[in-house]
Amino acid sequence: MLENKNDSIPSPGQNRQAMQADCENCFGLCCVALPFAASTDFAVDKNAGQPCRNLQPDFRCGVHTSLRQLGFRGCTVFDCFGAGQKVSQTTFSGRDWRQEPGSAKLMFEVFPVMRQLQELLWYLTEALTLEPARVIHDELGAALEETERLTHLSPDSLMQLDVAAQRGIVNALLLRTSELVREEARRQHKGPAGRKIRQGRGADLIGANLKGADLRYANLRGAYLIAADLRGADLRVADLIGADLRDADLRDADLTGSLFLTQAQLNSAKGNARTKVPPSFVHPAHWSA
């Protein structure tokens, strides 16, 4: 039995703010724990556990406002889903790795585990807002409560955790949620069927010409949409969980009501002021007017 570190666990109904990065309360974990290789996304190589050369003594990024210009685009599209502050302030009770070097290795190893759990919480929270999935809301709520409980385990217990097993349970529920929501939307849609494309996890749509395509209700879970032309495409109620939108052209596209979209996905794509996004998201600064 895995030991629970804290007696008091926040309500599963926590809001999205708790699953958004709060760099003010994080010890720069994404800038240290994770590795990256020199590429179009990163200007240099960095090993896991090695502080980024731009990390300042106060755990802030010294080039935050110039990351894209300096070749660190990958930093602008990363989202920890609140794992950074949770590991820093809850799992390790506010003791940072510089003050207590002996905790550094374990803290850095726990961070990716926590990120996965926080990501699951993000998706489960969204699923519980979707009325067509009401028939499985009890199951979704139970999965959210259990996932939240796991985030409060001790560091050693988190390292023993079978995250893949928990992901499997949650993913099955999220897939069912997607099917319920998209099916109800289809029933309400009286127009012609949307464009036929390869759908499903891992669909290869790299560089695909989907300009103006009707992709409503499409299953694009885990699809590779890298550099795809989606200008003016209709992606309402499309399932975009895990879809790779790097350099996808979303200018004039409509993503309102799309399922399981994240801000990081938008940050990795191209768009403009006319790109329609859900109200809880913002247009990335690098998008055109």
Quote the pTM value: 0.89
Confidence of residue 289 (pLDDT cuts 50, 70, 90): confident
Structural domain contains residue 33: yes
Q: Is the distance from CB of 15 to CB of 94 less than 8 angstroms?
A: no
pLDDT of residue 4: 45
Q: Please give the average per-residue pLDDT across 153-178, as a whole number.
A: 97
* Judgement on whether residues 198 and 276 belong to the same structural domain of the protein: yes
CATH number at residue 220: 2.160.20.80
Alpha-carbon distance values, 3 to 150, 156, 232 (Å): 10, 9, 51
The string of pLDDT tens digits covering residues 39-51 is 988 999 999 999 9
Percent of the chain predicted with pLDDT > 70: 91
Same domain, 133 and 231: no
User: Could you report how far apart the first and last alpha carbons of the chain are, in Å?
Assistant: 54
Q: Are residues 152 and 263 in the same domain?
A: no
Lowest mean pLDDT of 18-32, 106-120, 160-174, name the range.
Answer: 18-32
Same domain, 69 and 158: yes
Helix (H, G, I), strand (E, B) or coil at 283: coil
Q: Taking phi first (over 0 means left), then psi (-120 to 50 degrees means alpha), and beta for anything else, what does residue 268 get? A: alpha
Task: Look at the chain and report how many structural domains it folds into.
Answer: 2
Mean pLDDT of 146-167: 97
With respect to residue 59, please indicate whether it lies within any of the assigned structural domains: yes
How far is Cα 41 from Cα 43, in angstroms, rounded to an integer? 7
pLDDT at residue 7 in the model:
45
Task: Calculate mean pLDDT across residues 240-267.
Answer: 96
What's the pLDDT band for 200 if we cut at 50, 70, 90?
low
Residue 5 placed within a domain: no
Angle between helices 104-127 and 137-150 (to 10 degrees): 170
Domain boundary among 128, 162, 182: 182
CB 49 within 8 A of CB 112: no
Residue 226 has pLDDT above 80, yes or no: yes
Would residue 63 be called left, alpha or beta, if left means φ above 0 and alpha means ψ between -120 and 50 degrees? alpha
Tell me the CA distances in angstroms from 260 to 6, 65, 70, 174, 265, one per residue in order. Answer: 30, 28, 30, 9, 10
Per cent of the chain over pLDDT 90 is: 80
176, 199: one domain: no
Where in the sequence is the domain holding 213, given as residue range(s)? Answer: 193-289
Assess whether 174 and 222 both reside in one domain.
Answer: no
Average pLDDT score over residue span 49-68: 92
Residue 76 lies in a domain: yes
Residue 17 has pLDDT above 80, yes or no: no
Indicate the length of the chain as a whole number: 289
Residue 123: its pLDDT value, please?
Answer: 97
Across residues 228-247, what is the average pLDDT? 96
Query: 208 with 228: CB under 8 angstroms?
Result: yes
pLDDT digits (tens, 9 = 90+) for 83-108: 999 999 999 999 999 999 999 999 99
The total of other beta-carbon atoms located within 10 Å of residue 207's CB is 14
Q: Are residues 37 and 157 in the same domain?
A: yes
Predicted confidence (pLDDT) at residue 81 exceeds the cutoff of 50: yes
pLDDT higher than threshold 80 for residue 190: no
Range from 158-162, 176-180, 278-282 carrying the lowest mean pLDDT? 278-282
Q: Which of 158, 182, 206 is the last residue of a domain?
A: 182
Same domain, 48 and 166: yes
Pair (37, 92) in one structural domain: yes
pLDDT at site 20: 84
Is 285 part of any domain? yes
pLDDT, tens digit, 9 for 90 and up, residues 115-151: 999 999 999 999 999 999 999 999 999 999 999 999 9
- The yes-or-no verdict on residue 273 having pLDDT over 80 is yes
Residue 239 half-sphere exposure toward CB, CA atoms < 13 A:
27
Cβ neighbourhood burial of 259 (10 Å; 0-12, 13-18, 19+):
buried
Q: Does 2 reside within a domain?
A: no
Do 107 and 36 lie in one domain? The reply is: yes
Domain boundary among 134, 155, 182: 182
Residue 12 has pLDDT above 60, yes or no: no
pLDDT at 192 over 90: no
71: left (phi over 0), alpha (psi -120 to 50) or beta: left
The answer to the question of residue 8 being in a domain is no
Residues 163 and 79 reside in one and the same domain: yes
Same domain, 165 and 236: no
Q: Which residue has the higher pLDDT, 69 or 6?
A: 69
